[in-house]
Amino acid sequence: AKADGRKRERFFANEMEAQMQLRHALEADLRAAVEKEEFELHYQPLYDLTQRRICGFEALIRWNHPVRGRVPPMDFIPLAEEVGLVVDIGRWVLRRACDDAAQWPEGIKVAVNVSAIQFSSSDLTRDVSEALAAATLSPSRLELEITESVLMENLSEVLPILHALKERGIHISMDDFGTGYSSLSYLSSFPFDKIKIDKSFVNDIVDNKEAHAIMHAIILLGDALGMRVTVEGVETAEQLALLECEECDEIQGYHISPPRPAREVPHLLSLPPKN
């Protein structure tokens, strides 16, 4: 039994070693990826439920790894945050998203995800200004999506930056609303333009009374605070219909469209209204 234990220990040690090596390899590749332009932005429609039309697109990063293929953001963004690379990547995302949005019709906005690290280890306001100027895009066409972790990181440092951005006319959205353990308390610390209700809340709204009640309450809350309310992860016509009755402002999800490459934006904009 002792020998077995030792074998097991050795197995786990090897396993950990392998994980570490994979991480190191990925980190080295990630460093090179920025220069080798292996990143690409895909765009997912934000669909205005009242006007029944696309009113914007969220930019979602894609990494086309020469060997590993498409690496999902969840497999490299956390690593990029840990090693500080997310600052360079984030700058690239802002530039590309603003450049792309400048090609779209006036009424169409672009939403960009911003990581906590970009607030603490870079001059985010300057990076945003430079991206807007380079693209000659109006600040009112840009939305920045931040999660609760951004605020948790350092509220006193983050708030002045958010206010400065907002004063410039940039819109600020609270992303993944409801997933953190203190989302509610942050709603009173900053006047968000929009909350995006996390997709985990939409799953059962059609069949489950309690899930429906929670969705109803969150939408009312957002409304009462004067914020636009977006529901993420809408996958069916039934969910859309229910959210329309709830006077949700905006939806996003596979039912409208999955994220698509930038070249497909004109096609997405030409599609008939969705039910």
Question: What is the footprint of Ca ion within residues 149-208 (CB under 5 A)?
Answer: 175-176
Cα–Cα distance for residue pair 196/15, rounded to 1 Å = 38
Find where tokens 């008939």 sit: 272
Compute the least distance from the CB of residue 238 to Ca ion, in Å.
21
Give the interface segment with Ca ion, choosing from 22-30, 63-71, 84-92, 145-153 (CB under 5 A): 145-153
Give the interface segment with ligand C2E, choosing from 48-56, 122-130, 156-164, 233-241 (CB under 6 A): 233-241
Q: Which of 26, 54, 77, 242 binds ligand C2E (CB under 6 A)?
A: 77
- If DSSP codes are grouped into helix, strand and coil, which group holds residue 98? helix
Burial status of residue 139 (CB atoms within 10 A of its CB: 0-12, 13-18, 19 or more): middle
- Asked if 146 interacts with ligand C2E (CB under 6 A), we say no
- If DSSP codes are grouped into helix, strand and coil, which group holds residue 223? helix
Compute the least distance from the CB of residue 10 to ligand C2E, in Å.
36
Give the interface segment with ligand C2E, choosing from 63-71, 133-141, 183-191, 230-238 (CB under 6 A): 230-238
For Ca ion, the closer CB: 29 or 251 = 251
Compute the least distance from the CB of residue 76 to ligand C2E, in Å.
9
- Asked if 60 interacts with ligand C2E (CB under 6 A), we say yes
The b-or-e profile of 82-106 (16+ CB within 10 A means b, else e) is eeebbbbbbbbbbbbbbbbbeebee
Spatial contact of 217 and 166, defined as CB atoms under 8 Å apart: no
Question: What is the footprint of ligand C2E within residues 85-144 (CB under 6 A)?
Answer: 93, 113, 115
* Closest of 142, 129, 137 to residue 56, by C-alpha: 142
Q: Which of 45, 56, 222, 253 binds ligand C2E (CB under 6 A)?
A: 253
Spatial contact of 253 and 201, defined as CB atoms under 8 Å apart: no
Which sign, positive or negative, has the C-alpha torsion 226, 231, 236, 242? negative
For ligand C2E, the closer CB: 115 or 141 = 115
Cα–Cα distance for residue pair 197/173, rounded to 1 Å = 10
Task: Using CB under 5 A, list all residues that contact Ca ion.
Answer: 113, 145, 175-176, 223, 249
Q: Interface with ligand C2E by CB under 6 A: which residues?
A: 44, 60-61, 72-74, 77, 93, 113, 115, 175-176, 199, 233-235, 253-254, 259
